[in-house]
Structure 1
Amino acid sequence: MVAATAQAQQGMDHSAHDSHAGAAQHSPMQHDGMDHGSMAHPPVSAPSPAASVPPLSDADRAAAFPDLPPHAMHQGGSHFLFLADQLEWQDADAGSALAWDISGWYGGDIDRLAFRSEGERTDGHTEEAELQLLWSHAVGPWWETVAGVRQDFKPGSPQTWAAFGVQGMPLFGLETEVTAFLGEGGQSALRLEAEYDILLTQRWVLQPTAELNLHARNDEARGVGSGLSDAGFGVRLRYEINRQFAPYIGVTWNRAYGNTADLLRDEDEDVSDTRLVAGIRFWF
């Protein structure tokens, strides 16, 4: 039985096995002819930059943005400024005139004691002169409130006013002043002023200016009428020898309106005036 089984195994047909072996021997893989470009490979992702940066902690934020004490930016001590914005000769119809517009202050970044003065002298006679003493208080980076007194010396008899208003720069480089006045006998007035520096070069600066004055009541003794009393406009071209000293030339135009113009006509005076000006601007 065992011998028969052995004979049967020796008689098995190994042709199928030989055929498979021959196929394996004569059909090798042709690697040289394969197109590797068409093979799809999984994308290789670069490491994320955020993966190498540790997250910010509260300690990091506290170190970068430390808490500041109240008004830390305004603890710079007291300072002062004197500015002669206009100190000029004017070619007036009545003769040569000397006009001034000066201001200054002393104090810190929040509260200051300030003054303003403007006026005009023609042929040695004072036509207009006033002085304001004000306390200014900063209410923002670009604005401050003012309050104080104004004293008029000319025209007419001296007159005292209470003054309050705001001043600042609503736009970059545009300086504005809006001041209300309460005077004797129930008189009140409002003044609006603006000036703007246009930098033509590093030394040449063009400065337009404007001023409006309004009054609530007629004041014939001082030649002032109610409503819009007068308006003045000017343009000055200055050359800054340095930042603190600059000669200039320019032209100004002034006109009276309403009741003020009527009072001037009654005195046979002109209601408008155009002047050539030349002067210096300096500060320290």
Structure 2
Amino acid sequence: MRSINLFAMSTLSASLLVLSGQSFAHEEHHAMSMSEPQTQPAEEIPVDHSQHQKMSAAPKIVTEEKQVQPVQQAHSNSDGFEHKSDHQFDHAEHLKEHGGQVYQQTTLESKWQRNDNGQGALKSELETRIGTDENKIFIKVHADKAESQQTEYDAKLLYSRNVADFWDVQAGIRYRNDPNREVDQDQVDAVLGLHGMAPYFFETDAYVYIGQDRQVSFNLETERDLLLTQKLIIQPYLDINMVLSDDSNYAKKTGLNSVQVGLETRYEINKKVMPFMDVAYGYNKGVQETAWQKSSSSENEWFYGAGIRFKF
């Protein structure tokens, strides 16, 4: 009985030793697997690089297009004609729209003027221009009503073409009417001239008139604005008339026929209403003796005037 118990105890002890050895080995293996990296290579998985190549090539194409697009210029095709890029066409259309609009401006002026002898005259002017920056139509009407005389006036219709910066060439006709004459009350002249801005901002009109009876004359008008304030402005001006030839019934003497130098001072209530005062000194050579008029001598005199100008 004692031997059986010893055998049982030895058997139980051996079983416990075996079980404890297996558990210790399992825990040691688990600890080693957690602390040490795996040394065996992972299984290789095939990767398709075609999509990566396409994605990496796409930005290069976009970059090249961005670099080429701004430098597109006119090129010649096989047909021998020059073709412009869309950018150039858009730029040309923009310039056409910028300078192609039609605008209109009308100036109306009325002035009462007296000379040293106390003789007065009412002078009125109307100027209308309509068109684009390159092509315009000018209508100019000038009327003089001296005391104890009927109103004489002239009207000009001019086509104006821009030929350079600040300069237009003008051509047209002038109609004159003087009811104080007994004959040749109506006259028609051809007009050719320049309109523009001379150096130092002198607005200038220069015209040559050619009419019947060998009437050829030249007129120059120039003026410049000088701002004292934003509303108070002085304007020196010069008006010269030259007669190159005249065989009419009311002929004028050839050469420098008249000169008027003046200074206008205006106050701009706004850009549409502008009253002004005018002081000028003038020279007039006179007229020739014909069957319809007596000869007159040269005269020098001062002129004083006041008026109002409208712009719309």
TM-score (norm 1): 0.70
Q: Which residue of 2 aligns with 1:121?
A: 145
Tell whether 2:114 aligns with 1:91.
yes
Matched AA of 1:249 = M
Equivalent-residue separation in structure 1 for 2:71 and 2:148 (angstroms): 67
SS in 2 for 1:71: helix
Q: Tell me by how many angstroms 1:171 deviates.
A: 2.7
State the Cα distance separating 1:119 from its structure 2 match.
3.0
One-letter amino acid matched to 2:310: F
Distance 1:159 1:132 in 2: 12
Distance 1:233 1:219, change over 3 A: farther
Query: Identity over the aligned pairs, expressed in percent?
Result: 23
| Alpha carbons 2:137, 2:158 under 8 Å: kept | yes
The question of whether the paired residues in 2 share the 8 Å contact of 1:197 and 1:206 is answered with yes
- Hey, what does 2:171 align to over in structure 1? 147
How big is the shift at 1:140?
2.9
Corresponding pairs, count: 224
Q: Which residue identity is paired with 1:234?
A: G
Q: Is 2:98 the counterpart of 1:73?
A: yes
Unaligned stretches of 5+ residues in structure 1: 1-55
Q: How far apart are residue 164 of structure 1 and its match?
A: 1.0
* Inter-partner Cα distance in structure 1 for 2:69 and 2:198: 39
Extract unaligned runs of 5+ from structure 2.
1-65, 73-85
SS at match of 1:252: strand
1:245: how far off? 1.0
The answer to whether the 8 Å contact 1:116/1:132 transfers is yes
Q: What is the distance in 2 between the residues matched to 1:220 and 1:72?
A: 49
Does residue 253 of structure 2 align to residue 225 of structure 1? yes
Inter-partner Cα distance in structure 1 for 2:227 and 2:149: 36
Residue number in structure 2 paired with 1:110: 134
Structure 2 residue matching 1:229: 3-state secondary structure: strand
* SS in structure 2 of the partner of residue 73 of structure 1: helix
Residue 125 of structure 2 is matched in structure 1 by 101
Q: 2 CA distance for matches of 1:58 and 1:275?
A: 70
Higher mean Cα deviation, 102-111 or 192-201?
Answer: 102-111
**Over residues 146-195 of structure 1, what are the superposed CA-to-partner deviations in whole Å (9 max), with x where a residue is unaligned?**
11101111364221100011100023531101111110022211111101
Give the corresponding residue for 1:134. 158
Shift of residue 108 of structure 1?
A: 2.2
- Find the structure with the greater CA-based Rg: 2
Length-normalised TM-score, structure 2: 0.64
8 A Cα contact 2:170 2:192, kept in partner? yes
Partner of 1:137, secondary structure, is strand
Alpha carbons of structure 1 residues 220 and 251: separation in structure 2 relative to 1, 3 Å:
farther
Q: Per-residue CA shift, 1:190-240, capped at 9, x if unaligned?
A: 111101111110000101111111112245743511111111111110000
Q: Tell me by how many angstroms 1:58 deviates.
A: 5.8
Q: How far apart, in 2, do the equivalents of 1:223 and 1:272 lie? A: 20
Paired residues of 1:94 and 1:122 also in contact (CA < 8 A): no
Instruction: Identify the residue that residue 162 of structure 1 maps to in structure 2.
Output: 190
- Residue 205 of structure 2 is aligned to residue 205 of structure 1: no
